[in-house]
Amino acid sequence: MIPTLVAPRLDVRGLSTSFATDAGRIQSVADVSFTIAPGETLALVGESGSGKSVTSLSLMGLHAKTSQARMDGEAWFVRRDGVRVNLLALPEAGLRALRGNEMAMIFQEPMTSLNPVITVGDQIAESVRLHLKLDRRAALAHALRMLELVEIPAAARRVHEYPHQLSGGMRQRVMIALAMSCNPTLLIADEPTTALDVTIQAQILALMGRLQKETGMSLLFITHNLGVVAQYADAVAVMYAGRIVEAAPVHALFAQPKHPYTRGLLACLPGVARQRARATGSAPGQRPRLEAIAGQVSGPFSQPPGCAFAPRCPLSDADCDAQMPSLVAHGEHRMVRCIKVRDEVNNEVPA
């Protein structure tokens, strides 16, 4: 966990999530811990299959009943009235009272998240009527104000339209309006700009940043786009194979990544490739070569012994296969899960 100077809005401790399959239970998320302070943005990053979305759905209690999800650990959330509740221990009725009200989520693909046979205005109004106890006319007027807030053009007309009548960017704005309609204190955004072009992506991210400043909400931002992370996040937690392998303030992590996986992710960035090309004296006009992390993320039934990243890690040896390393402090505000980094700290000689 990254220490914060104020009481966290969300304090996740040892979250583990497993699912039932015909071949037995599989562990998708294991021992995940982090905190998010009021008004803070924490980016959860990693390759596809690393457990980012499972983590968010576990916090929201949105796993399908048929998956027989089992969640262990704690996730302490501070409500508006100051009461701390453990999201993982709340009954379904308690979660329903919080979802869409004090905590909300923007899903990765709005076309599959919005109801295709209900107008976007009625979908927003439904949440408002449930949580704010407004009548239908007042709720629809509130929905219109939310569409105007997220800068949808011709909002008075769009409020009566269906999702298929809107562009991808406008559908994502509707999802943001829906999530923000009850002024949540915690917003989880799961890859909110993946399917959008770069221009619309920048507009959506700027909009989310403005709304966060105006409302003071906390934001859990799930993404694999490290460029977005560098620009918008306050802190970063890097996930691999269901576990957090490094967590640090954003500037510290980009300036000096410690875990080999974090270093590999940053080495894949085009900007880093250009810097490396200049440092090595590549020929003028020669296109810099992007680095790639060798191999693939191991499947849930083929986890290696010890460190999950060891088969792909250039620093691994026999010690890495002995046991799963713990997430340990590296300095005041950084946590790293790597025995090589641990040995580096233990071997430091005081000046």
Angle at CA of residue 15, ends 12 and 16, nearest 5° = 170
Residue type at 281 in one-letter notation = G
Q: If you average pLDDT over residues 284-300, what whole number do you get?
A: 76
Contact indicator for 32, 12 with CB cutoff of 8 Å: yes
For 154, what's the count of Cα atoms within 13 Å in the CB-facing half-sphere? 6
How far is it between the farthest Cα atoms of the chain? 70
**pLDDT tens figures, 225-265:** 888 899 899 999 999 999 999 999 999 999 999 999 999 99
Please give the structure tokens belonging to residue 272.
Answer: 């880093």
Which residues have CB under 8 Å from 121's CB, separation 6+?
140, 143, 144, 147, 158, 159, 160
Asked which of 79-88, 248-257, 334-343 is least confident by mean pLDDT, the reply is 334-343
Contact indicator for 294, 306 with CB cutoff of 8 Å: no
- In whole angstroms, give the CA distance from residue 80 to residue 22: 42
CA 45 to chain centre: 7
- Residue 91 is predicted with a pLDDT of 94
Question: 254-263, long-range: CB within 8 Å, 24+ apart, which pairs?
Answer: 254/230, 258/330, 258/334, 258/336, 258/338, 258/341, 259/309, 259/336, 259/337, 259/338, 259/341, 260/309, 260/313, 260/314, 260/315, 260/338, 260/340, 261/293, 261/309, 261/312, 261/313, 262/238
| CA-based nearest residue to 124, from 152, 93, 94 | 152
Burial class (CB in 10 A: 0-12, 13-18, 19+), 227: exposed
Q: If you average pLDDT over residues 182-192, what whole number do you get?
A: 93
3-state helix, strand, coil split of the chain in percent (to 5) is 40, 20, 40
DSSP 49: T
Q: What pTM, to 2 d.p., does this model score?
A: 0.89
Beta-bridged to residue 32, according to DSSP, are: 15
Beta-bridged to residue 20, according to DSSP, are: 25
pLDDT band at 199 (very low <50, low <70, confident <90, very high): confident
Q: 3-state class of 263 per DSSP? A: helix
- How are strands ordered across the β-sheet holding 10-21? 24-36, 10-21, 70-78, 84-86
Residue 205 has pLDDT above 90, yes or no: no
Residue 307 has pLDDT above 90, yes or no: yes
**pLDDT tens figures, 319-334:** 999 889 999 998 888 9
Q: Which domains does the chain have, with CATH numbers?
A: 10-240 (3.40.50.300), 261-346 (no CATH)
Contact indicator for 32, 88 with CB cutoff of 8 Å: no
Residue 267 has pLDDT above 50, yes or no: yes
What integer best gives the mean pLDDT of the chain? 89
> Torsion over CA of 98, 100, 103 and 109, rounded to 10 degrees?
140
Contact indicator for 184, 6 with CB cutoff of 8 Å: no
Q: How far is CA 212 from CA 43, 87, 260, 303, in A?
A: 14, 22, 33, 39
- Residue 282 is predicted with a pLDDT of 62
Higher pLDDT, 250 or 272: 250
Kindly tell me the sign of the dihedral angle through the C-alpha atoms of 116, 220, 234, 237: negative
Query: What are the φ/ψ torsions at residue 285 (nearest 5 degrees)?
Result: 85, -10
CB neighbourhood size of 252 (10 A): 16
- Residue 343 is predicted with a pLDDT of 63
**pLDDT tens figures, 98-130:** 999 999 999 887 778 899 999 999 999 999 999
